[in-house]
């Protein structure tokens, strides 16, 4: 990665990787894979098959993980979407498949995060005078603050905060779906209008 993502409130991007290597015992031995290989002979006949050892292999063993380029591509797309939703609009996530040895390989994800978009200003566009007064009165509690990264989850939390605020003040049928956030971006700065 070109840019440190440590200052971004992101879960580890590893959670978006769809394929993981076979487990290893004591970080070295692929014991579960061995059990599977021993109990699953290439032929469906023979003593191991008829003794039912293949069933034991299904319980204890672990089938070999095959590198699937489609899964690698989907993982990269999900990482890029997550970065976008956290203000990295220009980020690029690619993957590279390398062969390490016969029947062994690895997938490397290459993340170029670029610079994040930062919240610069927040405007309120509220036609109803009493609702405007109520929201502006509690604006110090807003979750959208200048200097924070653009963050779609943060915006959703702010919409819920306003919904609960209005419901607590007598607007029982108000829904967060009536709140629209318009985002205007320019040179890594974001201006937000709350409608």
Q: Which pLDDT score is estimated for 186? A: 84
C-alpha distances in angstroms, 18 versus 22, 78, 95, 187?
13, 10, 13, 34
Q: Which pLDDT score is estimated for 2? A: 46
Structure tokens at 159: 């919409």
Q: Which pLDDT score is estimated for 187? A: 81
Q: Which pLDDT score is estimated for 190? A: 82
Report the SS3 class of residue 23.
coil
Q: Which pLDDT score is estimated for 111? A: 87
Of 146, 150, 145, 4, residue with least CA distance to 84: 150
Structure tokens at 185: 């971006």
Q: Which pLDDT score is estimated for 12? A: 73
Of 6, 17, 129, residue with least CA distance to 73: 17
Q: Which pLDDT score is estimated for 21? A: 65
DSSP state of 186: E
Q: Which pLDDT score is estimated for 129? A: 93
Distance CA 146, CA 4 (A): 21
Q: Which pLDDT score is estimated for 113? A: 83
Taking 70 as the pLDDT cut, the residues of the chain under it are 1-11, 20-65
Report the SS3 class of residue 162.
helix
C-alpha distances in angstroms, 96 versus 46, 80, 111, 167?
41, 15, 11, 51
Q: Which pLDDT score is estimated for 15? A: 79
């Amino acid at each position: 990665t070109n840019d440190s993502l440590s200052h971004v409130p992101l879960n580890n991007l590893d959670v978006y990787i769809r394929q993981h290597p076979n487990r290893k015992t004591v970080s070295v031995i692929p014991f579960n894979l061995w059990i599977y290989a021993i109990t699953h002979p290439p032929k469906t006949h023979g003593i191991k098959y008829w003794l039912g050892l293949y069933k034991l292999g299904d319980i204890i063993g672990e089938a070999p993980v095959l590198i699937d380029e489609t899964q690698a591509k989907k993982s990269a797309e999900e990482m890029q979407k997550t970065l976008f939703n956290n203000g990295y609009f220009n980020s690029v996530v690619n993957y590279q498949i390398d062969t390490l040895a016969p029947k062994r390989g690895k997938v490397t994800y290459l993340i170029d995060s670029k610079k994040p978009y930062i919240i610069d200003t927040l405007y309120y566009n509220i036609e109803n005078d009493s609702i405007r007064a109520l929201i502006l009165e509690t604006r110090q509690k807003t979750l959208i603050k200048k200097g924070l990264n653009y963050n779609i989850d943060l915006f959703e939390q702010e919409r819920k905060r306003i919904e609960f605020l209005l419901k607590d003040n007598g607007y029982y049928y108000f829904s967060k779906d009536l709140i629209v956030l318009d985002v205007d971006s320019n040179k890594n700065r974001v201006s937000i209008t709350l409608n």
